[in-house]
Amino acid sequence: MNQEYMSADLLVVGAGIAGITAAVEAAETGLSVILVEKKPYIGGKVAQFSKYFPKLCPPSCGLEINIRRLRTNPLIKLYTLAEVSTNVLTSSGKHEVNIHLKPRYINDKCTACGECAKVCQGRRKNDFNMNMDETPCIHIPYENAYPQKYVLDKKNCDGKCCSKCVEVCKYNAIDLDDNGKVFTAEVNSIIWATGWEPYDAQKLDTLGFGKYPDVVTNLMMERLAAADGPTKGEILRPSTKEKVKSVAFIQCAGSRDENHLEYCSSVCCMASLKHTRYIREQNPDAEIYVHYIDVRSNGFHEDFYRNVQGDSKVHFHRGKVGKVSLNDETGNLIVEAEDSLTGKYMKNEVELVVLATGMKPSTNNLPIDKLMIDKNGFVNCSGEPAMKHPGEYACGVITEPKDVASVVQEATGSVLKAIQNIKRN
């Protein structure tokens, strides 16, 4: 990277499934694209999922194809550990943006041979696995990560605590003095695709997350079920590392709730129904309880719901969960909930509680017109992949919570808007 000033037809911000899709669809339609991602790898949240509903197929399958499309297309320039800091509309109707590259401390010479990680003495919490295990401070975000380059977590290690990584690297790929850099780009259009973060489960103070290790979130469940996750795909109870025999799912954990997220996060019903299948595949006897308000398996997803309903050991209870507490004697969790269909108040003991936490759009601190952000943080674009600010569009969960197929649909459409703008300019 020698250029200090770049230009392209399109800037795509965020390289989750929305941003990757927008970038490859645009490049395959002939646009030059700058794709920036703030993490050291692309794929975003879907890279962390074990399987997609309703097919129970692995996201890495589609990512493999998309990464091939991306890496073989010379029209796409990808920057990881990159963020857009400023965004100015120029007199010619284009956007001048500053892109900050945070230091990776590993340069492009890295061959991902892995020798550095073998000798690294430091350890860091593995955010890719939702902090459920550790990696060396110098690490690859996950085995199949793209780009296949290591990264140094300098928060935990300055690279000098043992300096062994530097000694062992044959390719001069470690640069501890990497200060990152800033460059300016002029682009015709921008597609914002910065995605979402899970709602902070610690805020749901009656449900015990952070207090009891066996209360986990739905995203943690994905990592527990993933073959490359902290338990190699075995769904184990965090406190005992034993196979789980009973599980309660708490739907709308923080969603459809005026004290937390007032909207519905759209995917949590299907996600939990999918998780019941993960558990069933590993334990035919596990008892599963799903506490819900409405089961929102819209469209063809109804088939999936019907199949889960056919499982006699999955019990659906309509009603809110009041409290999760610990039975000190058994070590199990007690779930207290109402069942609005029977009118009864129920108390149930389970080994694992999964909070179906919702999605919060990642629109904080983005250099976009604040008028376009609604009170819940979503980019308000009336179902149309366009923003009022000329040449700027949004797609993916930042416009509303939705499932992967809908995200891809919207991301594809957002490219058409960008093309219209390029034509106008």
Identify residues 6-65 at the interface with other proteins (CB under 8 A). 17, 24-25, 28-30, 50-52, 55-65
**Residue 51 CB partners (closer than 8 Å, separation 6+):** 57, 58, 59, 225, 274, 278
Region from 81-89, 201-209, 255-263, 320-328 binding other proteins, contact rule CB under 8 A: 255-263
Residues 163-182 that bind other proteins (CB under 8 A): 170-171
Give the whole-angstrom CA distance, residue 222 versus residue 194. Answer: 21
CB of 419 to other proteins, least distance (A): 5
Residue of the chain from 89, 119, 168, 264 that contacts other proteins (CB under 8 A) = 264
The binding track of 340-359 with respect to other proteins, each residue x by CB under 8 A or -, is: xx-x----------------
Tell me the window of 119-127, 211-219, 337-345, 362-370 that interacts with other proteins (CB under 8 A). 337-345
Nearest CB to other proteins, comparing residues 161 and 341 = 341
Minimum CB separation of residue 186 from other proteins in Å reads 22
Nearer to other proteins, 348 or 399 (CB): 399
The secondary element (H helix, E strand) that includes residue 216 is strand 215-217
Give the three-state DSSP class for 82: strand
CA-CA distance, 152 to 104, in Å (whole number)? 6
Q: Which residues in the 295-334 window bind other proteins by CB under 8 A?
A: 295-303, 306, 318
Footprint (CB under 8 A) of other proteins, residues 195-224: none
Among 378, 387, 391, 392, binds other proteins (CB under 8 A): 378
Please, what sign has the CA dihedral across residues 130, 408, 280, 229?
A: negative
Strands 344-350 and 333-339: antiparallel
- Enumerate the β-bridge partners of residue 8: 187
Q: Which helix (H) or strand (E) holds 282?
A: helix 268-282
Stated length of the chain: 425
Tell me, residue by residue from 66 to 105, as one string, x for binding to other proteins by CB under 8 A and - for no binding.
x-xx-xxxx-------------------------------
Rounded least distance, CB 334 to other proteins, Å? 25
Own/partner contacts of 318-322, CB < 8 Å, gap of 24 or more, are 318/292, 318/293, 319/291, 319/293, 320/252, 320/291, 320/293, 321/207, 321/248, 321/250, 321/291, 322/206
Q: How far is the CB of 412 from other proteins (least distance, A)?
A: 4
Q: Which of these ranges, 3-11, 183-191, 206-214, 372-380, lies near other proteins under the rule CB under 8 A?
A: 372-380
